[in-house]
Amino acid sequence: MRIFDPHIHMTSRTTDDYARMAAAGVLAVVEPAFWLGQPRTGPGSFTDYFDSLIGWEPYRAAQFGVVHHATIALNPKEANDPRCRPVLDLLPRYLDKDRVVAVGEIGYDSMTPEEDDAFERQLDLAVEHDLPALVHTPHRDKAGGTRRTLEVVAASGIAPERVAVDHLNEVTVGMVRDSGCWTGFSIYPETKMSPPRMVEILRRYGLERMLVNSAADWGVSDPLLTLETGRAMLAAGFTEDDVDRVLWRNPVEFYRQSGRLDLTGAGADGDQPTFAGSSIKRGGS
């Protein structure tokens, strides 16, 4: 089974995770910029974070044969802090980088006017930079938030097939399918979505435009729940080709719209191609 995790926050994970993921067939990941648990207080800590997403993290991933790309944005939660708003003006520089394959995560947290503005401006940036958009849906008032999300996406003029709306569940999947956007599901140990529920959704709605991710971060989460979902699909009678479509070809198809997806090195032994830093793997002296 080859797996492309289209949404995972590797900055918060250890090398043990990279090793387990590579062994399980997770050969490519996209890491969306998001908040870090601790609110930031100024643009400088965002740019250091963004630099890490396009510098250190892909390098770290490559040691394990995992190909790493990023999405860059001011997340909805921190869009509400006036000290962080200047980040919006710094985004164009990052949205031009080789390994940036979408604008994201954008969308709503508490559905404030500030979030409206940041969401709209960043959808415009996606269009200007010819990038897809990765849209987070709120944890509270999810159905209302998702409905409003789809209205803002439609009004922005971005093509729906270039938008993935994420963290969906049984209640929100239908309206997003109808919109023509891609549907993303975050498989979590306790919250959001579980492998058996995911299988039911795939049965009901089909495999087209379906994205399954672990959204693993610094909270209770598991980077191998994509694999678990693949196994649950097989156990439920889906074919290996079905699993490959959902867990590999679909995310490739979505992010390939950026024109920047480069899967060279997926599955390679990180030590083989160059001297590309055995230091992390070896742990130093």
Partner 1 sequence: MTRPERLRAALRGTPRAEWVDAALTAAAERPETIGRSFTQAGRRAGRTPLPGVPGWTADEAARALLLAALPADRAEAEIGDLYRHGDADEKRAVLKALPALAAGGALSSAAGLPLLHDAIRTNDARLLAAALGPYARHLDQAAWRQAVLKCVFMGVPLTAVDGLEERADRELAAMLAGFADERAAAGRPMPADAAALLDRLTREES
Give the separation between CA 216 and CA 10, rounded to whole angstroms: 8
The least CB distance from residue 228 to partner 1, in Å, is: 33
In the complex with partner 1, the residue whose CB is nearer, 154 or 276, is: 276
In the complex with partner 1, the residue whose CB is nearer, 63 or 226, is: 63
The least CB distance from residue 214 to partner 1, in Å, is: 25
Give the separation between CA 204 and CA 64, rounded to whole angstroms: 36
The least CB distance from residue 271 to partner 1, in Å, is: 9
In the complex with partner 1, the residue whose CB is nearer, 93 or 140, is: 93
In the complex with partner 1, the residue whose CB is nearer, 46 or 238, is: 46
The least CB distance from residue 97 to partner 1, in Å, is: 5
Strand order in the sheet with 100-107: 3-5, 26-32, 67-72, 100-107, 133-136, 163-166, 182-186, 210-213
In the complex with partner 1, the residue whose CB is nearer, 139 or 282, is: 282
Tokens for 24? 């399980």
Give the separation between CA 89 and CA 1, rounded to whole angstroms: 41
Chain positions contacting partner 1, by CB under 8 A: 51, 54-56, 58-59, 93, 96-99, 259-260, 274-280, 282, 284-285
One-letter identity of residue 188? Y
Residue 8 · residue 213 · CB < 8 Å: yes
The least CB distance from residue 285 to partner 1, in Å, is: 6
Contacts of 11 (CB under 8 A, 6+ apart): 31, 36, 49, 52, 53, 57
